[in-house]
Chain A
Amino acid sequence: MDLTGLILRVTAGRPHVLLATVPGGAAVRLAAERLLRARDWPQASTPAKADLLLVAGPDLPELRTALERLWRDMPAPRARVHARTPDEVEAALDSGRALLGSPAVQRESAAPPGEAVGHREGEHGAQERHEGDDQAPGHDGDGGGEGEAGRAGDAHGGPDGEHAPHDAGQDTEAEHGDGRQAPDGQVPDGQAPDGHGDHGDNGNHGDHGGHGGHGDHGGHGGHGGHGGGQTDMPGGLPMAEPGADRDGLTLDRLHLPLGPFLADWPAGLTVRLVLQGDVVQRVDVDEPARPSDDAAVEAFWVQPWLRAASGEPVTVGEAVRRRAAAHLDSLGRLLAVAGWPAEAVRAGRLRDDLLSGAPRAAVAPRLERLTRRVGRSRTLAWLTRGIGVVTAQKAREAGAGGPAARADGDVTARYRQWLADIRHDLPRLEDPAPLDVAVEDSPRGPWSAEAPPSAALIALLPPLLEGAELAAARLVVASLDPDPEELVSRGVVEVARG
């Protein structure tokens, strides 16, 4: 009797799904979230707890390595499916469940090639692991720490250098938490941390918020020849370098990329952080990944504006509905980041009902309730007060004009602004007048293909994040909620090319 097989079949009925949304996949993500909620398939926030990887959106070659890394980090039994359009989601999820329940998944992580619906991805588990071994030093997620040797050295020479000896104890602690990544098999004797650092940088391409680092967790990873540099590089991983921090201490620098597939994070946005402790010291924002054939993506949240701009007839009601749903989507994400999953789910439901055309009478009482619970929550306001202050003037200078500018304040002011905007929009959900792009703002600000509002929001990020704690940094990003899709959308790309 095959007990394992039986368990797999039974438990495949409730897989934990890791939803990886690529830019252009917002509509697919919404369809998937709606379906997962209805089926009670929990969403996983890391590969470690996921059984099923669902890639939502078009193929983006730039993000393929990052997706591979997610897949490699998932423990077997696992399966992987891809939905390119919202209509494919249901079939993709069904085939994912079938894969997870199949006997094949016992021996290998199941991702058999499939031509059928759902575009299952084809690599075989064993082959994957070989690939992993070959590229070992490269797929190391946070490896950037090692590439920092030069800069860290500067910091030592700097005014804070004298602090270094006092902090030795702290350093050793932090070092272990930091120097991780590549399996050691590939490190030749005496290879300088420099060279390794380069690899680290390669590996940095947006792993799942720092979870890319586990090359060999598959259980068969190459623990090959341990190099001579063993003492300097535990597990073949170079140590982090210390640097001066804002409080005049010398702490280790932790290089942590956030995105592009982090849960509750703008899809495709990659922000590279240098952390000391959990305080952000430096911020670099990557260019968003672009689809190989431009003009393939139509940004979902600004779709009515794009269509109206290209001359199609669009009603104000449709645009307003989309905008209210976009605010609810942002709010749900902020609530998830703030650690309030129960209300995040409610915001998501309201969003989906709005998008499926629910009349105002059905939406209004539930919005009222959400405003009462969330908008007037003193606890949430206390937790978000004073974080990420953007004055109206600062926002205007950056070119942002939407709710972020009108809120004129901190995270609290911004989520309250969203709620106020939705309330304001409710009476016009059925407005049949034609949409004038110049009059109605798109969800994140006045729409312009030359300067999409999300570009301004992204430009606001680095100064806001520097000096913030990691938890606060996540709240700031969620409260501005830039949409990288706008930057790679049809229309915008064409304008950029002239």
Chain B
Amino acid sequence: MVEAGAWWTLLAAPGLLVVLAALAVAGNAVLDARDAGRPVGVAGAVRPFLGVPRALVAQPRRLPAQDRLLWRTGVVTVPVAAVLSTLVVPFGGRVVADPSVGVVWFNAMEVLTWAGLWLAGWGPNAAFSLIGGYRFLAQGLAYELPLMFALISAATGAESLRVGDIAAAQDGLWYAVWMPVAFAAYLAGVLAFSFLGPFAYPAGRDLAGGVLGEVSGADRLLLQAGRWLWLASGAAMAVPLFLGGGAGPGLPSWAWSLVKTLLVLGLLVWVLRRLPVVRADRYVEFAWVVLIPLTIAQALVPALVNLGR
């Protein structure tokens, strides 16, 4: 069972999330260096972080007829929602809060990024940026329902929306094993709401950066950080939902949580480099014709199993 509510977890959870996100960025940088034929090492891994102080001294942009309030709101929403989503993600035996609707909270925070990214695309009053915002909505229409059915599958299996209960219910058999479709749909959803790799469509290079095309300085830092924070948060959430939480032989539960989270994160970073950007116009078709029926069928499996018990 997880223990919720210790005051220090409120600081530890965001801290841990930032560390995990930084590890993902560094890992990606190492793979970049390998592909580009540069020496692979620690120096190459930390170089992307030079962008952080750089962003802080950069000049903010002001565009004609921009919608400053909504723009800033959108930019801030993305990383903030990512951090808030981790409040219900147990790490080992600890969690900030374990409400009875934890899965819904996570999902709600993830949907906030819809609003955030759309506003970030809308605010600067620039064509490419706006199209980038629209693209995220189209992508959202494709990934969101399969993701929700994946979450529902796990919740149905445990007969609870409490994340702690879901982790505990996988005693002996991980949901990832007997709900592989839900697990895969969930991981695709994680890449999609972090708009990275195959789902970087809203920030596509063909749009000169899309939603990221007009932001500079601290705004840019926030949006970019939001992507990787979401990736880390999604990886951390996969552990209690599908991989049995902190359960495992030998090691303490926090160690198991860490190992599993890092493995999922590593898998996601590897995948995001292996695929080209999946355009929403093609992915929507695939999602609605193939993924949604599959995930519904998947959600049916734990429902029937529970009925038969």
Contacts and interface: CB of A to CB of B under 8 A. Distances in A.
B50 A11 contact: yes
B126 A346 contact: no
B59 A262 contact: no
B36 A349 contact: yes
A278 B38 CA distance: 38
Given A178-B127, A182-B64, A383-B282, A339 B51 contact: no
Contacts of B277: 338-340, 383
Interface in B101-155: 122, 125-128, 130-131, 134
A264 B37 CA distance: 21
A214 B127 contact: no
Contacts of B47: 14, 40
Contact of A177 (B125, B209, B220, B281): B125
Interface string A259-277: 0001110000000000101
Determine the interface band of chain B, counting residues with CB < 8 A from chain A. 35 or more
B287 to A, nearest CB: 13
B64 A342 contact: no
Contacts of B38: 37-38, 40
Contacts of B205: 45, 263-264, 336-337, 339, 341
A216 B56 CA distance: 20
Interface string B28-59: 00011101111000001001001101101111
Contacts of B274: 342
A183 interface: yes
Interface string A37-50: 11010000110110
B263 to A, nearest CB: 21
B275 A76 contact: no
Nearest to B121: A177
A208 B207 CA distance: 11
Contact of A342 (B31, B57, B63): B31
Given A40-B47, A349-B36, A213 B126 contact: yes
A124 to B, nearest CB: 16
A120 interface: no
Contact of B64 (A16, A48, A77, A236): A236
Interface string B212-229: 111111001000000000
Nearest to B61: A217
Interface in A1-34: 4, 7-8, 10-11, 13-14, 16
Contacts of A4: 57
A75 B127 CA distance: 19
Given A45-B209, A256-B127, A377-B276, A237 B65 contact: yes
A179 B65 contact: yes
Interface residues of A, number: 77
Contacts of B131: 278, 470
A215 B213 contact: no
Contacts of A456: none
A211 B128 contact: yes
A345 interface: yes
Nearest to A145: B127
Given A11-B50, A142-B127, A75 B58 contact: yes
A209 B61 contact: no
B33 A209 contact: no
A254 interface: yes
A323 B108 CA distance: 53
Given A340-B277, A345-B35, A49 B127 contact: no
B279 to A, nearest CB: 5
Given A75-B58, A338-B277, A471-B204, A214 B65 contact: no
B20 interface: no
Given A210-B128, A219-B59, A235-B64, 8 more contacts: A37-B36, A177-B130, A180-B126, A237-B65, A275-B127, A339-B277, A345-B36, A383-B276
Closest 8 CB pairs of A and B: A339-B277, A235-B65, A340-B276, A177-B130, A11-B54, A474-B206, A75-B59, A76-B59
